[in-house]
Amino acid sequence: MPTTVGRRTNRLAPTSRVDRRIVVRLGVVAAVSYAAWLAIGAFGRPYNFFDMKIYHGAVLWWAGGNELYDFVAPSTTLGFTYPPFAALVMLPMSWLPLGGAGSVNALASIGALAVVLAALLRPIVDRLGWPLWFTVGIATPLAVAVEPSRETVGYGQVNLLLFALVMADMVGLRWRARRGTHYETADSPLARFLYSGAWAGVGIGLATAVKLTPALFVAYLMLTRQWRAALTAVGTTIGVTIATFGVLGEESRAYFAGVLWQTERVGAADMTANQSLAGLLARLYDSIETPGLLWLAFSVLILALGLSRAMSARADGDELTAFTLVGLTANVISPISWSHHLIWVIPAIIVLADAAVRRREASRGLPPRATGGPSANGVPALRPPIWYPTLTGLRHGVGALGLYLLFVISPIWPYEHQLPEVSHYQDGLFGALMENSLAIALIVLVAALPWRPGAEPAFYHDRLIRTAAPTARR
């Protein structure tokens, strides 16, 4: 009997330790979530679903039998600026009160962000042996605290949902390139289709039908010869737009013939919230309008740089960095990129942090160094490379931390100025740098974001097969 009891006690002991570990991890997640909440309160702005008020009011106006694009939000000059397809998707909001619609959008956006983070972090945590739920539980509140996420949620914007659509295509491309166990063991046609990744491109197509900037991903897919995904994206955008035209012909004509070209509906280029290259140049010239020729020249340069670096990243097996570079490039060259559009800084932080960890891990395999003095048998004495593992990856880690803090603190708002009342140079050079800090960070990322060779083995293996095929034929 005592032996039996002892065995039962031994079996229960590990479970108790696991339970304590889970409790500790849940406590860490709760503490990080609370810290993120405090950061939003300290560095965020008052959020009252301002943009959601416009969307909600517009669909209510439209559902009441009025013209969609004639709507103007009370006490503003702002109206609905999205295409009719977006209005059709938002129409169910008219069944809810404003607070309910804003809350549903906030929950959906945070949920979409958590799912995306799980997909992006899965290869990293599998390599490091970390629990996925714990990593995502920490990463999600940290990501919600940065400027683009908190502005999106607080104002009732759709950027996190569009971000999830684009990143879903990256996951689809990953599954299609890998064709692993999930595909082989799928027990239904729907599951096999899902894990086949044949649908990759649909997310980009839907996102482009709502907002034009995701169309740059179509160009990237074409440049990297991912023809099926590119054609799927183009076909989805055209198909959805034509179908919407068939259902909402009058609204579609009003949008594509008039509203699309009324740039004054979205605001002045020099507004502090516009952290694109166009906004940066307008503020540097202390002008409401962007110097067109200069913006065009620099935009073409940044476009070429961003796409070429994205192609190189994919060629070296890092599709996440490739997608991130395309998203950042779209933010930079777009005439208007409000601070809530800059969602692509989140995967950039992940890439920088993982590059730091990878470099540190790789440095541990460096050979030992000679001390300079002989040993007892006349062979130079060796010592382990103590400082290399400590310092390797430091600049990438500092870059990830600095980028995160920049987008949490978001120093653009204390130096917000608006012409003609106040010059953008009112606070001198330092004030001008702070007001443009997010735009400057984006441009630096397009030019210098590192990629991680072999980070996505499926894509790298696919490239090696294509490269080796002509050699084998010769």
- Residue-wise pLDDT for 168-221, tens only, equals 999 999 888 876 555 666 667 777 777 778 889 999 999 999 998 999 999 999
Distance CA 238, CA 257 (A): 17
| Number of domains, the chain | 3
Same-domain check for residues 261 and 221: yes
Question: Which of 131, 157, 183 is the C-terminal boundary of a domain?
Answer: 157
Q: Return the pLDDT at 267.
A: 75
Domain that holds residue 298: 267-363+384-462
Is the link from the previous residue into 368 a cis peptide, with omega within 30 of 0?
A: no
Same-domain check for residues 332 and 300: yes
Domain membership of residue 338 (yes or no) is yes
Same-domain check for residues 217 and 289: no
Same-domain check for residues 203 and 146: no
Q: Return the pLDDT at 206.
A: 96
Residue 357, exposed/middle/buried by CB under 10 A (0-12, 13-18, 19+)?
middle
From first to last of its 474 residues, the chain has per-residue pLDDT tens of: 455 554 445 555 555 555 788 899 999 999 999 999 999 999 999 888 989 999 999 999 888 888 888 888 887 778 888 899 999 999 999 899 999 999 999 999 999 999 999 999 999 999 888 999 999 999 999 999 999 999 999 999 999 999 999 999 999 998 888 765 556 666 677 777 777 788 899 999 999 999 989 999 999 999 999 999 999 999 999 999 999 998 888 888 888 888 777 766 677 889 999 999 999 999 999 999 999 999 999 999 999 999 999 999 999 999 999 999 999 999 999 999 999 999 999 999 999 999 998 888 777 665 555 555 555 555 555 555 555 556 677 888 999 999 999 999 999 999 999 888 899 999 999 999 999 999 999 999 999 999 998 887 767 655 555 555 555 444
pLDDT in tens, 448-470: 999 998 887 767 655 555 555 55
Domain membership of residue 60 (yes or no) is yes
Same-domain check for residues 395 and 353: yes
Domain membership of residue 470 (yes or no) is no
Same-domain check for residues 257 and 273: no
Domain membership of residue 150 (yes or no) is yes
Same-domain check for residues 78 and 107: yes
Same-domain check for residues 26 and 65: yes
Question: Which of 209, 237, 266 is the C-terminal boundary of a domain?
Answer: 266
Same-domain check for residues 259 and 278: no
Question: Which of 231, 266, 301 is the C-terminal boundary of a domain?
Answer: 266
Q: Return the pLDDT at 14.
A: 53
Domain membership of residue 205 (yes or no) is yes
Domain membership of residue 89 (yes or no) is yes
Domain membership of residue 78 (yes or no) is yes
Same-domain check for residues 53 and 135: yes
Same-domain check for residues 181 and 294: no
Instruction: Enter the tokens of residue 35.
Output: 């810290």
Same-domain check for residues 149 and 179: no
Distance CA 455, CA 373 (A): 40
Please check whether residue 442 is in contact with residue 162, taking contact to mean a CB–CB distance below 8 angstroms: no
Domain membership of residue 5 (yes or no) is no
Q: Return the pLDDT at 473.
A: 47
**132-142 b/e with 16+ CB inside 10 Å = b?**
eebbbbbbbbb
